[in-house]
A and B are shown apart, each in its own frame.
Chain A
Amino acid sequence: MKALILVGGFGTRLRPLTLSVPKPLVDFANKPMILHQIEALKAIGVTEVVLAINYQPEVMLNFLKDFEAKLEIKITCSQETEPLGTAGPLALARDKLIDKSGEPFFVLNSDVISEYPLREMIEFHKSHGGEASIMVTKVDEPSKYGVVVTEESTGKVERFVEKPKLFVGNKINAGIYLLNPSVLDRIQLRPTSIEKEVFPEIAAEGKLYAMVLPGFWMDIGQPRDYITGLRLYLDSLRKKASPKLAAGTHIIGNVLVDETAKIGEGCLIGPDVAIGPGCVVEPGVRLSRCTVMRGVRIKKHACISSSIIGWHSTVGQWARVENMTILGEDVHVCDEIYSNGGVVLPHKEIKSSILKPEIVM
C-alpha cells in the first residue's frame, strides 16, 4: 500500500526552528515530526511513502536514507518546481501512487499529529464503498477553519463551508485522507486546492465520506500549537499506559525523557515536558510544559515553562525562561537572565533580559 505526505514549503511559522532544519525534521516528542507519520503508516503495512516537497530536498534525502534503512520502508521524494497547492502534488506523484493493485492510498498532511487510526480508516473506506474518505475532527472554534458538513448516520459528506459565520457544524478537515486511484483522474498538474476544488466535486457525486477522528488532533505548524500538541500527545501515551513516560519523585504528570539524557538532583520536571537525546539537566532545575531538544544543557536552578529550547542551546544558572520563548539552534542564555517570550534566531547569545515578547535576530 502507498502513501503521500504533503510536506509543502518553508515552514516559516515554525521559525526560528525551521531556519536550522526543514519542518518535517523538527523534533516533536523526541522524534522528527515526519517520523511519527511514517511509523504509523509502516505499522499498517504501507510499503512506500512519497514525500511531496518543494524545499531543501538534499537535507531531507539524507535523513530519509537513515529512516528507510531503520524502518524497512521505501521513502521517495516528489519535488514541486512551483507550489502546487494541496492537490497538485498528488498529480505530480501519480506514477508512484498507482500500481496494478488498484488499492487506495493514504494522503497525510505533515503538520498534523494524531492517533493515526489508519486501520479503522481502511475498514470505514471499505464499508461505505465510496471513492474517498477523510478524517474530520471536532474543534471548539470551527469558524477558524473549513467545516465539513456530513450526514449523521453514514458520514457521507454533504458540503464544505470555509470559515462559516453561522454554526453549520463543528467538524473540520483533519488532513488525513484515504483515496481511490480514480481521484487522481480529477486532479490536473497545476496549483489546485483539494478542499476547495477536488473534494467538493467528489462530495457532489455523493462519493466522499468522513470519519470522526477518535483521540487527539493538532496542527503543530506553529509554536503555540506545538506546545499544546505535546500535551495532547503525552496525554494519549498516558492513556495507553506507555512505558515511555518517565516516572519518579522528580516527575509531575506526563514527561518524556530520552534514555541518553541526564537529570540532576533536586529537579522538578513536568507536566508536559519532552527532553531529547544527550540533554543535561543540572540539579535544581524546574521544567514545565516545554520541549528541550537534542544536546541542550540546562544549568543549575534554572526555571523553564511554556517554551521550546532548540538543539545544542544552553540556559544559564538561575535563568527564567517562559511564556512562549522559542530558542533556535545554538542559542546561549546567560546566567540569571529572564526571557518573557523571546524568539531567538540561531547562534545567538542572550546577555540581557527580554522583558516582553520580542524577536532577537
Chain B
Amino acid sequence: MGGSEERVVAVIMVGGPTKGTRFRPLSLNTPKPLFPLAGQPMVNHPISACKRIPNLAQIYLIGFYEEREFALFVSSISNELRVPVRYLKEDKPHGSAGGLYNFRDQIMEESPSHIFLLNCDVCCSFPLAEMLEAHMSYRGMGTILVIKVSPESANQFGELVADPVTNELLHYTEKPETFVRVSDRINCGVYIFTPDIFTAIQGVSSQRKDRATLRRVSSFEALQPANRSLPSDFVRLDQDILSPLAGKKQFYVYETTDYWEQIKTPGMSLKCSGLYLAQFRRTSPDLLASGDGTKNAAISGNVYIHPSAKVHPTAKIGPNASISANARIGAGVRLVNCIILDDVEIKENAVVIHAIVGWKSSIGRWSRVQASGDHNAKLGVTILGESVTVEDEVVVINSIVLPNKTMNVSVQEEIIL
C-alpha cells in the first residue's frame, strides 16, 4: 500500500464553451471551470482535493477550450498549490471515456498505477484518498464514487445497483425507461481506474469498427439502430464501459455520505458555493471572514471576502456570501446568499439576496437585487452579467440580465438581453 512506485495521476474533465450554454450568462465572458465558488475557481476545488491523494504525480485538465484560456490559470495554480497541472485540448468530441483514451500517452507518461477521473462540474467533498484505499482493496479495474439520493431525485439519473457486501457494481443503465427503480444510489462522476481501463476502451473502439465493417457486408446489420451513427473513437464511459462490464467483477463502488451536486446552471453554482463555504468552515475556517459590526462589517454564517475587497463596517454580510477581488461594499449594504464578483461596486444601503452580481457591475443606492432563492428554477436566482448597472432605488427580482445593460426601471421575472 503506497509504495514509492505507486504513482497516481488525476484527470479532470472541464468541458467546453459550446457545451456549456446552460451556464449563461455567466459563461458568456468566462469559461465555466474558472467561475469562482466560495472564492476559488470551480476547478480549484477538485484540484485541491487531488492534493490529498498520496503519491500524486500530475493533474491533467482535459477540455475543448482554447489553450490560451487556461494557460494563465494552469501556471498560477501549479505554482500556488505546488502540484503539476497541465491543460490538454481535445480536437473533437470523443465521449467521456474516449477523451481519456485520446490522451493515454500523456496520462501514462509517468507509468501511474492509478488514474482518477473527475468531472469539473461536480460539487462534493472528493474523498479521493479513501477512494484509493477502497479501490486497492477491491482490486478491480475501477471504482465509482456513489451517493444515496431521495427516490424522487433518483429518477433523473442512471440506475446503479451494487452488492451491499462486496461493493461490486452489479448493474448500470443510463436513465432507464421503466418507472420501478430498485436503487437509490447514483453515479457521482468521480472514478478511479487502473491502466487496464485503456484496454477496455480500446476494446469498445475495435468492436465498433468491426461492426461497422460487418454492416457493410450484411444488409441486416445495416438495419440495426444501435450505435449506427457513433464513430469508432467515440466511447462513453457509462453506456459503453460501465453498463456492459457491470456484474463481471471489474467495477466497484465507494459510497460517500457527504454532499453532492452538479453545477450545471448559475443558480446551482450559488448553491454549491454555499456548500463549499460550509466545507471551509469544517476544514479551513481561517479562509472565512469574521466580524461583529464594530471594526469590521457584521458577518453572519459562512462568508468569504477576498483580501483586496473593501467592505464598510456598517454593512451586514451573510450567510452564504462570497465577495471577490477589488469589490467595494458600501455603508449599510445587506448581502445574503450571493456571489459578488470582481470589481463590483455596491452603493450605500443596497440589498442583494439570492443573486450573483457579475464582474465590474454597479449596484445603486437603496436598490434591491433579489430572487426567490430556488436554485433549480430558471429565474430562481437573479443573475447580473458582466458590467451591469442597476440604478439607485431600482428593484430587480427573479431576473437574468445579460452583460453591459443598465437597469433604470424595476423588473420582475424577466430576461434582459
What 1/0 mask marks residues of chain B from 28 to 43 whose CB sits below 8 Å from any chain A CB? 1000000000000000
**Bound: A92/B160 CA distance, A:** 66
In this complex, what residue of A is CB-closest to B383?
A361
Instruction: Evaluate contact between B24 and A345: CB separation under 8 angstroms.
Output: yes
> Which of B21, B402, B404, B417 has the largest number of chain A CB atoms within 10 A?
B417
The yes or no answer to B129 lying at the interface (CB within 8 A) is no
| B residues near A330, Cβ cutoff 8 Å | 18
| A residues near B417, Cβ cutoff 8 Å | 12, 15-16, 343, 359
| A residues near B28, Cβ cutoff 8 Å | 19
**Bound: A361/B28 CA distance, A:** 11
In this complex, what residue of B is CB-closest to A361?
B24
The yes or no answer to B108 lying at the interface (CB within 8 A) is no
Number of interface residues of B (CB under 8 A): 12
The yes or no answer to B405 lying at the interface (CB within 8 A) is yes
| Shortest CB distance B264–A (Å) | 13
Instruction: Evaluate contact between B415 and A361: CB separation under 8 angstroms.
Output: yes
The yes or no answer to A128 lying at the interface (CB within 8 A) is no
The yes or no answer to A191 lying at the interface (CB within 8 A) is no
- Which residues of chain B from 389 to 417 have a CB within 8 Å of any chain A CB? 400, 402-405, 415, 417
Instruction: Evaluate contact between A361 and B400: CB separation under 8 angstroms.
Output: yes
Instruction: Evaluate contact between B404 and A12: CB separation under 8 angstroms.
Output: yes
**Bound: A361/B417 CA distance, A:** 10
- A-B contacts, 9 listed (Cβ < 8 Å): A9-B404, A12-B405, A12-B417, A343-B417, A345-B24, A347-B18, A348-B21, A361-B25, A361-B415
Q: Chain A residues in contact with chain B, CB under 8 A?
A: 9-10, 12, 15-16, 19, 330, 343, 345, 347-348, 359, 361
Interface of A (DSSP majority class): loop
| B residues near A361, Cβ cutoff 8 Å | 21, 24-25, 400, 415
**Bound: A343/B405 CA distance, A:** 17
In this complex, what residue of B is CB-closest to A19?
B28
| B residues near A359, Cβ cutoff 8 Å | 415, 417
14 further A-B pairs in the complex, CB-CB below 8 A; given A348-B21, A359-B417, A361-B415: A9-B404, A10-B403, A12-B405, A15-B402, A15-B417, A16-B417, A330-B18, A345-B21, A345-B24, A347-B21, A359-B415, A361-B21, A361-B24, A361-B25
Give the 6 A-B residue pairs with the shortest CB-CB distance, closest first: A15-B417, A359-B415, A10-B404, A347-B18, A361-B24, A12-B405
| Shortest CB distance B35–A (Å) | 16
**Bound: A15/B400 CA distance, A:** 14
| A residues near B415, Cβ cutoff 8 Å | 359, 361
| Shortest CB distance B355–A (Å) | 17
| A residues near B404, Cβ cutoff 8 Å | 9-10, 12
**Bound: A273/B343 CA distance, A:** 45
| A residues near B21, Cβ cutoff 8 Å | 345, 347-348, 361
| A residues near B400, Cβ cutoff 8 Å | 361
| B residues near A348, Cβ cutoff 8 Å | 21
**Bound: A254/B402 CA distance, A:** 36
**Bound: A16/B28 CA distance, A:** 12
In this complex, what residue of B is CB-closest to A359?
B415
| A residues near B24, Cβ cutoff 8 Å | 345, 361
| Shortest CB distance A19–B (Å) | 7
| B residues near A16, Cβ cutoff 8 Å | 417
**Bound: A15/B403 CA distance, A:** 11
In this complex, what residue of B is CB-closest to A14?
B417
| Shortest CB distance B30–A (Å) | 15
What 1/0 mask marks residues of chain B from 282 to 320 whose CB sits below 8 Å from any chain A CB? 000000000000000000000000000000000000000
**Bound: A361/B18 CA distance, A:** 12
**Bound: A12/B25 CA distance, A:** 13
- Which residues of chain B from 1 to 49 have a CB within 8 Å of any chain A CB? 18, 21, 24-25, 28
**Bound: A359/B413 CA distance, A:** 12
**Bound: A330/B403 CA distance, A:** 21
**Bound: A343/B400 CA distance, A:** 14
**Bound: A347/B17 CA distance, A:** 10
In this complex, what residue of A is CB-closest to B19?
A347
In this complex, what residue of A is CB-closest to B400?
A361
**Bound: A314/B18 CA distance, A:** 16
| B residues near A10, Cβ cutoff 8 Å | 403-404
